[in-house]
């Protein structure tokens, strides 16, 4: 049963009220959101600070304006700061999903108000019936345990403290406390799947068992406990097959392939790979293959599945110019790459200065790159050189190509110099490019 004390207890289960957080309430004017606002207003003695936001979508003419007035009047009566967004012609409506458009619009507005007013939590009035409708929708879409465990009560700083209370309980509370609210008559129409579930399916389910909603609430609780347990086990499995370095995470492809399809999906889903077909391709792909999610770049390699944040790879400078200001008449030019790049393999290359076009620079490999590796006859594609050296995808990413200003490749740092530009015994003017490990002080 919904009471003020039951609501306060539910809110305390979600957050620590002793921290005195601040809230933005999303209020439409319907029974559930107006009751939510009323419940918060009765918490004033606990120094609860909150504001209210409302969106007038202008979709139902005078009814939309009447909804707005109910919310405004409530805020004036209770001295609550009110934020309004009125949809205008500038807010273009999509031809297909008005519901999705409206959802994106309101959450964008709510987040803007939260940031501007420095409010900790957004609070919505989703209730137990909404939870059931969402469960049925997700069930029809063959959702897994995450979808079937329903709407979270506390996620991403969004609180839903009415989730354990039914629509009937909310209406009863409104009646007992003489709360004025608006009825959205469009909810009676079966134009949308959710409305059809609400108006036709849920009543029939309730007819079969008078305790249906209460039993459903218990089932959702069981599912959430199961979900939490599964997630903890997935974390343990992932930790066992993970290797970290400073920039990347590597998952053991061999170990992960031995896990069930469910475990594979749950682990890779965290990195944005959510389609079963794509995950199957990852395990059948050749070394060097790349896959991209919204945030991650996954490379299949002999070392495993290399995961790297996209913005991390974008931070690498595509070109590094070496020694822009120098005297070309010097007999000896020295360039120590320790000042430019991180490396862990010492080398010392001596070039004939007269064969070079300055300034020199470092860049990453490009398609079609060729060079004449020292110690070999003929030329070789850089990509084939990498294969012959049996470089992992991770190792390739650390390789730099040393070039002159005419883009002639002088060497593959730190592996091989190009023999065409090597200094000979009688070379008068030389340029040395090196990376030397500092010797420890004994």
Q: In what order do the strands lie in the sheet with 347-352?
A: 332-336, 430-435, 347-352
Cα separations in angstroms, 216 against 149, 154, 263, 383:
11, 19, 27, 59
- Residue 191 is predicted with a pLDDT of 79
Cα-based torsion angle of the residue sequence 60, 66, 68, 69 in order, rounded to the nearest 10 degrees: 170
CA end-to-end distance (rounded Å), the chain: 77
206 is in an annotated binding site: no
- Cβ–Cβ under 8 Å, residues 308 and 329: no
Q: For the whole prediction, is pTM greater than 0.85?
A: no
Residues in CB range of 253: below 8 A, 6 or more apart:
283, 300, 304, 305
**Residue 10 to residue 87: CA distance in whole angstroms:** 34
Instruction: Name which of 432, 433, 429, 434 is nearest 354 in CA terms.
Output: 429
- How many residues are given for the chain? 442
CA dist., res. 233 & res. 262, Å (int): 12
Instruction: Write down the H helix ranges in 15-49.
Output: 31-41
Nearest to 293 by CA among 311, 274, 306, 312: 274
Dig out the tokens for 137 from the structure. 């929708």
Exposed / middle / buried, residue 185 (Cβ in 10 Å: 0-12, 13-18, 19+):
exposed
d(CA 192, CA 430): 77
Phi and psi (nearest 5°) for 23? Answer: -135, 150
**How far is residue 193's CA from residue 126's CA, in Å, rounded to a whole number?**
17
pLDDT at 95: 61
The predicted pLDDT at position 157 comes to: 93
Which position has the token pair 């987040």? 111
> So where are the chain's domains?
4-216, 241-313, 319-435
Query: What CATH number should be reported for the domain whose range is 4-216?
Result: 3.40.50.620
Which residues fall within 8 angstroms of residue 242, CB to CB, at 6 or more apart? 249, 250, 251, 252
Helix (H, G, I), strand (E, B) or coil at 431: strand
What is the predicted pLDDT for the residue at 245?
Answer: 66
- Strand ranges of the sheet holding 400-403, from the earlier edge strand across to the other edge: 319-322, 360-363, 400-403, 409-413, 416-417
| Long-range contacts (CB closer than 8 Å, 24 or more residues apart) made by 99-107 | 99/192, 102/55, 102/57, 105/55, 105/57, 106/26, 106/55
- The answer on whether 368 is annotated among ligand-binding residues is no
β-pairing, 290-292 with 242-244? unpaired
Question: For residues 106 and 26, what is the distance between their CA atoms, to the nearest angstrom?
Answer: 9
Is the sign of the CA dihedral 268, 273, 278, 284 positive or negative? negative
Whether the Cβ atoms of residue 324 and residue 395 lie closer than 8 Å to each other: no
The answer to whether 32 is a known ligand-binding residue is: yes
Fold assignment, 319-435 = Phenylalanyl-tRNA Synthetase; Chain B, domain 3 (3.50.40)
Q: What is the mean pLDDT of each run of 10 residues along the chain (442 residues)?
A: 95 84 96 97 79 93 92 97 91 71 90 95 97 95 90 94 97 97 83 90 92 96 96 95 79 94 94 90 89 88 86 60 69 84 83 91 92 92 92 83 94 95 92 73 37
Confidence (pLDDT) at 317: 52
Cis previous bond, 362, omega within 30: no
Tokens of 377: 């006859």
C-alpha to C-alpha distance for 74 and 210, rounded to whole angstroms: 35
Crossing angle of the two packed helices 62-78 and 31-41, in degrees rounded to 10: 10
46 is in an annotated binding site: no
**pLDDT recorded at residue 442:** 36
């Amino acid at each position: 049963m919904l009471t003020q004390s039951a609501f306060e207890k539910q809110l305390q289960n979600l957050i620590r009220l002793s921290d005195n957080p601040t809230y933005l309430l999303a209020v439409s004017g319907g029974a559930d959101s107006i009751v939510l606002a009323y419940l918060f207003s009765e918490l004033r003695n606990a120094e609860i600070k909150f504001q209210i936001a409302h969106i007038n979508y202008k979709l139902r003419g005078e009814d939309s304006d009447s909804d707005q007035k109910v919310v405004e009047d409530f805020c004036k009566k209770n001295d609550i700061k009110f934020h309004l967004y009125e949809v205008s012609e500038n807010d273009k409506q999509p031809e297909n999903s008005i519901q999705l458009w409206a959802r994106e619009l309101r959450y964008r507005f709510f987040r803007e108000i939260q940031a501007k007013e420095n409010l900790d939590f957004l609070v919505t009035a989703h209730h137990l019936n909404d939870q059931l409708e969402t469960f049925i929708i997700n069930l029809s879409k063959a959702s897994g345990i995450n979808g079937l465990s329903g709407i979270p009560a506390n996620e991403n700083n969004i609180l839903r403290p009415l989730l354990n209370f039914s629509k009937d309980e909310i209406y009863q509370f409104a009646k007992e406390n003489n709360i004025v609210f608006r009825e959205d008559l469009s909810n009676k129409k079966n134009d949308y799947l959710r409305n059809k579930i609400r108006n036709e399916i849920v009543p029939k389910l309730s007819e079969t068992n008078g305790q249906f909603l209460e039993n459903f609430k218990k089932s959702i609780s069981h599912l959430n406990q199961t979900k939490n347990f599964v997630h903890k086990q997935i974390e343990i499995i992932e930790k066992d097959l993970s290797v970290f370095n400073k920039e990347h995470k590597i998952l053991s492809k061999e170990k992960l392939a031995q896990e069930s399809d469910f475990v594979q999906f749950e682990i890779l889903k965290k990195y944005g790979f959510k389609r079963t077909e794509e995950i199957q391709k990852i395990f059948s792909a050749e070394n060097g293959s790349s896959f991209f999610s919204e945030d991650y770049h996954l490379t299949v390699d002999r070392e495993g599945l290399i995961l790297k944040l996209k913005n991390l790879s974008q931070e690498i400078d595509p070109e590094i110019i070496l020694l822009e200001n120098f005297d070309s008449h010097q007999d000896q030019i020295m360039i120590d790459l320790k000042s430019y790049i991180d490396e862990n393999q010492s080398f010392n290359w001596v070039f004939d200065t007269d064969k070079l076009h300055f300034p020199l620079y470092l860049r990453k490999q490009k398609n079609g790159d060729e060079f004449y590796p020292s110690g070999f006859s003929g030329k070789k594609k850089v990509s084939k050189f990498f294969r012959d050296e049996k470089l992992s995808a991770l190792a390739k990413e650390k390789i730099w190509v040393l070039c002159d200003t005419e883009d002639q490749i002088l060497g593959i740092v730190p592996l091989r110099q190009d023999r065409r530009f090597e200094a000979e015994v009688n070379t008068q003017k030389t340029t040395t490019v090196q990376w030397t490990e500092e010797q420890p002080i004994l």
